[in-house]
Amino acid sequence: MSPAQGAQEAERRLGIPCFHVGQRVSGLFGCVACQFQIRNRKGLPTCPQCGEIIWGYLEDGPRPVPEGEEAVQVPDPAAGQQPVSVEEGVDLGGGAPEVVVEEGVKLE
């Protein structure tokens, strides 16, 4: 598994933005293996405590974009030739699905 795949996998598992060693992102990060926390400013290191290479982003707010990388844009196949608009703060889900409770339903 490549570091990028490892970061994606950890991100799916933990539900927070994850990055791997060498990516230049700043902020507060926690080792996904031992929770060791660092305040990062340049390229992410390997964890000084356990050697892990994947870090979770611990701050609130939008996902930071590593220096030298483009923001991830999901192509919309239905967009056709329309210009792409960028929206910030879009909720990509992850919350609990809405549950509809009906009362007075009789099960015969």
Which residues contact Zn ion by CB under 5 A?
31, 33-34, 36, 47, 49-50, 52
CB closer to Zn ion, 25 vs 31: 31
Rounded distance between C-alpha atoms, residue 11 and residue 56, angstroms = 8
Please say which residue, 5 or 49, places its beta carbon nearer to Zn ion.
49
Q: How far is the CB of 30 from Zn ion (least distance, A)?
A: 9
Supply 43's token pair. 């390229």
Show Cβ contacts of residue 13 under 8 Å, excluding neighbours closer than 6 positions: none
Angle at 76 between CA 70 and CA 14, to 5 degrees: 60
CB of 55 to Zn ion, least distance (A): 9
Q: Which of residues 15 and 45 has its CB atom nearest to Zn ion in the complex?
A: 45
Measured at the alpha carbon of residue 86, what is the angle toward residues 84 and 87, in degrees to the nearest 5?
A: 140
